[in-house]
Structure 1
Amino acid sequence: MDQKFADRRAFIGGLGAAALAMPVLLGAPRAEAAAPPFVHGVASGDPLAQRVILWTRVTVSGDANPRVQWEMALDAAFTRSVRSGLVRTSATRDFTVKVDVDGLSPDTVYHYRFTYNGTRSPVGRTRTLPVVAREAIRLAVFSCSNYPAGYFHAYAQAARMADLHAAVHLGDFIYEYGRGGYASDDAAAMGREVLPPHECVSLSDYRIRHAQYRTDPGLQALMASVPMIAVWDDHEVCNNTYRTGAANHTAGVEGDYVTRRDAALKAYHEWLPVRTPDTGDLRRIYRSFDFADVLSLHMLETRLLARTEQLSAADFVGPDGINAAALYAAANAPDRALLGGTQLAWLQEQMAGSRATWQVLGQQVLMGHMDIPAAIGLGQISVGGYEALTRKATDNPGDLTRAERYILDQPVVPWSLDAWSGYGAEREAVFAAARRLDRNLVVLAGDTHNAWANDLVDQSGQPIGVEFATPGVSSPGMEASRRTDDPDQLARWMVGNVPHLRYAETRRRGFMVVSATREACQSTWYFVDTVKSDRYRIEPGPTWQTLPGTDQRRLLPLA
């Protein structure tokens, strides 16, 4: 059956429970219709106990300095107004409006709207953070939303959930590629070819791309319904960024990297409802959010401030195969930085000063140890082929060919050197801090486009915490990158053969909801059956949880 976006509480109270319990055909929910001059909708973000950012953009002609009124109220009819004001915008900020409203009450739902020249925006809904937790803290977690790859149904589904405290975006909010680039095969048929048509390089390019993404009805509905806490990954600038460059930047063709990076960050800070901690250095986006004494969310920056250039496994391959000892030595070298000393010290200080049961790291890439046979990691053989070889080695070892023995003799290596496994010393530093402070650590990750749950252990095997990883909103996962493998077989094999991996889903797009009380922290995954049609079915996934305490820091299945 088809559903239209109406009142979110009515939806959950009526059909909503059924929609989350079984597959139901859905259409993208719509916030109140966005129309000129507010064609990009409204949003809120970076909530604190008494503050929140309000955002919109005005699309007008003939007014170089539009004056926009904003209002906040305790009800959607605005009969109980609490705050209001006027703000000007201009081309210098791409006609976006950001207001940091102060003097609010904790754990309170507010409604807000904007007015320009007598025309009102859609009404948005936001919420401040609790000082005293009266219910479970619930966060919808997203990453990797690629406009030409498909519809943003994950956003649409979360917009239907009435009990969220915030939406958390772990990066790749936009992608930089031009038409015909990554994951664009079906873009024309869906009417989702990117603007501008070329790869984003300039400030104007990134602004146009953000503007296009913000016309998606699922994204507009989410942004209007719940405050967002966001951080970038790499594609907000370009693929596989690091401190001094990026894999997808060619200086001789695309200009100076720093100029491109700074343009991308300016557009990001204009178009996202984020508070800017340091206007002198837009890269410094790391910040914390306290949800009473239940959960402290520490949003980390792992791309632009300090990251050392990524290692390549191919550089360690010789005539006899991969030199795993040299690779691990390089990946664990003490001078390899992901956070950098300043951010790492800040994180340790935040965890030390927090009174919350759960210390949650909102960041981009997988932190868990994900080591797999080199032959699989380098694409020399499929998982099914590798399983067949291992059976042959057991049943008929004398029949193995020289090439087959070569495959089986290869060591295990990190699955991704772009992830924390390529920066082992800093991972151990984070683990050591959590262990020393006796904190219950929960890591949120995105980046891979697939869903994962890991037990986190240090190099000595001591349990440290857990990791929940969200699938991509629309970017294709391992079902596309490893076409020789059946996705379900691949997921089963990885859970069975990667020592600390407890859950994997390598076929579907979606999001996860993290729910925390003082007694437990859990994640439930939600998947959509397609991103290629404007109608979709929601397919609830499993729930995994962890309990507080030194002896409880491991994953337990609930469903």
Structure 2
Amino acid sequence: MRHPISRRRVLAGLAGAATLPFTGCASNADKPRGPEGVFAHGVASGDPDQHSVVLWTHLSTPESAASGRWLVARDPECRDVVKRGDFSTSVARDMTVKVLVDGLSAGQRYYYRFEYAGEQSLVGRTLTLADGYLERLGIAVASCSNYPFGYFNAYEMIARDPEVDIVLHLGDYLYEYGPDGYGGETGKLLGRPHQPPREILTLDDYRERHAQYKGDPQSRAMHAAHPLIALWDDHESANNPWTDGAQNHQPEEGDWGARRSASLQAYYEWMPVREPQPGMRRDQRWGHYRCGDLASLVTLETRHTARARQIEYHEHPDALASPEAAQAFMRDVVGAPGRRMLSDEMEAFLDTSLRESVSAGRPWRLIGNQIPMARTHTPRLADSDVAALGITEDNPRYADYQRFRRVGELGLPLYLDPWDGYPWARERFYAGCRAAGASDLLVLTGDSHSFWQNQLFSAEGVAMGVELGTTGITSPADFADFGPAGAALMDGLLAQQNPEILWTEGVTHGYIRLVLEREAAEVEYVGVSNIATRDFHPVSVRRTRVLRRDGTLAFA
């Protein structure tokens, strides 16, 4: 996302410092560990269904090809083995190992490990999705984990959260920038610079960056503790991509198609995700996760398969000339028919999935969505707000602030990269959901580096459900440059001036804990006290409930 200015109940089990990623695993140390041995990047699992799950690891070995063993057991000591087999890997897939284990029982907790050359990996914990009656499901919703900006303390919290069954990572799992890019200065101060020390462009670059993130001990702890359902957003390839390019890709950096292909190959190698089904391309990554009779989770692909090029305010200076010009800009340019977000194939998959969910009578329909969906107009700043924010003419970015204030005066969107920049596509999405019988969406959103509690409506005012937006694991919020008080002021203005926004908070880093039950969903916005050191404590930022009312959803 381009940045226009910059870019209470906590469970007793979360209150301590670093402990076991999960209890009862004899192979795990007392704290999340750094890289060591042949399994220096830990283990991970993901993309579960009722009878299968992906298991992942990487071999840190000088060999160009290797083979070993894996096993799945019912107990953390790995004595009650239910499945075992062989694996092989090579430098052709960067020595990563990915096994799709089938024939498992539905709704069961399992433990797994890998063995190679006499060494054993730590033991990971995973599960299969339920088939039939399901009383509850706990989901940790995460996004925007930029390595140089700070420690992954929120990952450690997720690893130790006893209410979490699955981690839903909504994208920006890693960032493509070099030391002179977004987060570079903070990374130097914290001793967490990106590797390789440049903007990543090639397959080897993307592989090395993935390895750096997987080698982080807190990332290792989270992956070992819970299965992952992962979506990509933009930074897994480059900032703000569309079908034919990206904002952070210049002609001198080579062919965009080759760069995107390299980023997707590394993603499939290094993430615990299923390979594309026959007949599907790597960029066509979406899914329908049926969680018993309780919930459906449908994940979207909004970056590579259909997205029209993003529109930028600076490319249309005349749009800020008058209210009439702004209205014409939104109607004729931003809102032009045919500005796609979702591909035909994605829309067909969404329709089929929602119809199946409605027919099955599941009470919850979750949408895994990378980018903010609620209408978010830029705050209108009074003179007193400008004074409180310390915006003065001697500020080197005064012209930027003035342009930002003008955008707010005209009632224009805060960003044109999320769904606000694609209103035709958003209405098409809403219409498709209504046609499938689903006007009760629980949309889970990342990207913005802020917590959100939003209600969703079509252009005609039809209620479509609610949106929960998660903050960054480490990436800073929109208004971080204004300091905590200034950021809180801006967040308050957003909620006051936007009917779809009930609350937002961009000061704290963390994740959302969403616990689905039969009649209601419990939501806690979980924060960490800091990301500058590993010495942190949990913070309960806000709690709310989502209730079902007359065929749609509302906050209690």
TM-score between both structures, scaled by the size of structure 2: 0.88
- 2:460 match: secondary structure: coil
Find the aligned partners of 2:170 and 2:517 in 1 and give their Cα distance: 22
Deviations 1:48-100 (A, max 9, x none): 11000000000111x22200200000011122100010011000100000000
Within the alignment, does 1:517 sit opposite 2:486 as a pair? no
Task: Give the AA of the match of 1:384.
Answer: D
- Evaluate the alpha carbon distance shift between residue 201 and residue 7 of structure 1 in structure 2; reply closer, same or farther with a 3 A threshold: closer
Please show how residues 317-328 of structure 1 align to structure 2 within 5 Å: 317-318=317-318, 320-321=321-322, 323-328=325-330
Find the aligned partners of 2:33 and 2:77 in 1 and give their Cα distance: 13
Structure 2: gaps spanning 5 or more residues = 1-14, 390-401
Residue 115 of structure 1, CA deviation: 0.4
Please show how residues 157-176 of structure 1 align to structure 2 within 5 Å: 157-176=157-176
Residue 141 of structure 1, CA deviation: 0.7
Please show how residues 175-254 of structure 1 align to structure 2 within 5 Å: 175-251=175-251, 253-254=252-253
- Evaluate the alpha carbon distance shift between residue 186 and residue 350 of structure 1 in structure 2; reply closer, same or farther with a 3 A threshold: same
Find the aligned partners of 1:449 and 1:464 in 2 and give their Cα distance: 24
| Cross-structure match for 1:14 | none
Deviations 1:272-330 (A, max 9, x none): 00012247621011111011111111111100111000011233433734622122212
Residue 240 of structure 1, CA deviation: 0.7
Task: Give the AA of the match of 1:149.
Answer: F
Deviations 1:500-546 (A, max 9, x none): 10110011111101111221234211111211112112101212232
265-274 or 516-525, which deviates more? 516-525
Find the aligned partners of 1:270 and 1:206 in 2 and give their Cα distance: 10
Deviations 1:378-405 (A, max 9, x none): xxx88812999xxxxxxxxxxxxxx99x
Percent of aligned pairs with the same amino acid: 34
Within the alignment, does 1:526 sit opposite 2:511 as a pair? no
Within the alignment, does 1:121 sit opposite 2:121 as a pair? yes
Contact 2:285/2:301, CA 8 A, preserved across alignment: yes
Contact 1:502/1:555, CA 8 A, preserved across alignment: no
Within the alignment, does 1:149 sit opposite 2:149 as a pair? yes
Within the alignment, does 1:369 sit opposite 2:369 as a pair? no
| Cross-structure match for 1:41 | 42
Please show how residues 535-550 of structure 1 align to structure 2 within 5 Å: 535-550=535-550
| Cross-structure match for 1:55 | 56
- Evaluate the alpha carbon distance shift between residue 285 and residue 409 of structure 1 in structure 2; reply closer, same or farther with a 3 A threshold: closer
Residue 31 of structure 1, CA deviation: 4.5
Contact 1:29/1:218, CA 8 A, preserved across alignment: no
| Cross-structure match for 1:337 | 340
- Evaluate the alpha carbon distance shift between residue 64 and residue 432 of structure 1 in structure 2; reply closer, same or farther with a 3 A threshold: same
- Evaluate the alpha carbon distance shift between residue 266 and residue 484 of structure 1 in structure 2; reply closer, same or farther with a 3 A threshold: same
- Evaluate the alpha carbon distance shift between residue 60 and residue 423 of structure 1 in structure 2; reply closer, same or farther with a 3 A threshold: same
Contact 1:34/1:122, CA 8 A, preserved across alignment: no
- Evaluate the alpha carbon distance shift between residue 121 and residue 408 of structure 1 in structure 2; reply closer, same or farther with a 3 A threshold: closer
| Cross-structure match for 1:259 | 258
Find the aligned partners of 1:409 and 1:480 in 2 and give their Cα distance: 18
Contact 1:206/1:267, CA 8 A, preserved across alignment: yes
Task: Give the AA of the match of 2:20.
Answer: A
Find the aligned partners of 1:184 and 1:191 in 2 and give their Cα distance: 10
Spell out structure 1 runs of 4+ moving beyond 4 A.
Answer: 31-34, 406-409, 481-485
| Cross-structure match for 2:5 | none
Residue 2 of structure 1, CA deviation: 5.5
150-159 or 546-555, which deviates more? 546-555
Find the aligned partners of 2:180 and 2:552 in 1 and give their Cα distance: 48
- 1:413 match: secondary structure: coil
How many residues get paired?
Answer: 518
| Cross-structure match for 1:21 | none
Find the aligned partners of 2:485 and 2:78 in 1 and give their Cα distance: 55
Contact 1:172/1:236, CA 8 A, preserved across alignment: yes
- Evaluate the alpha carbon distance shift between residue 451 and residue 235 of structure 1 in structure 2; reply closer, same or farther with a 3 A threshold: same
Contact 1:29/1:217, CA 8 A, preserved across alignment: no
| Cross-structure match for 1:358 | 364
- Evaluate the alpha carbon distance shift between residue 484 and residue 502 of structure 1 in structure 2; reply closer, same or farther with a 3 A threshold: closer
Contact 1:144/1:475, CA 8 A, preserved across alignment: yes
- Evaluate the alpha carbon distance shift between residue 472 and residue 29 of structure 1 in structure 2; reply closer, same or farther with a 3 A threshold: farther
Structure 1: gaps spanning 5 or more residues = 12-27, 389-402
Please show how residues 446-525 of structure 1 align to structure 2 within 5 Å: 446-480=446-480, 486-525=486-525
Residue 470 of structure 1, CA deviation: 0.4
Find the aligned partners of 2:329 and 2:227 in 1 and give their Cα distance: 42
Task: Give the AA of the match of 1:342.
Answer: E
Within the alignment, does 1:80 sit opposite 2:83 as a pair? no
Root-mean-square deviation (CA, aligned residues, Å) is: 2.5
Find the aligned partners of 1:79 and 1:553 in 2 and give their Cα distance: 45
Residue 411 of structure 1, CA deviation: 2.0
Within the alignment, does 1:437 sit opposite 2:436 as a pair? yes
| Cross-structure match for 2:4 | none
Find the aligned partners of 1:517 and 1:436 in 2 and give their Cα distance: 26
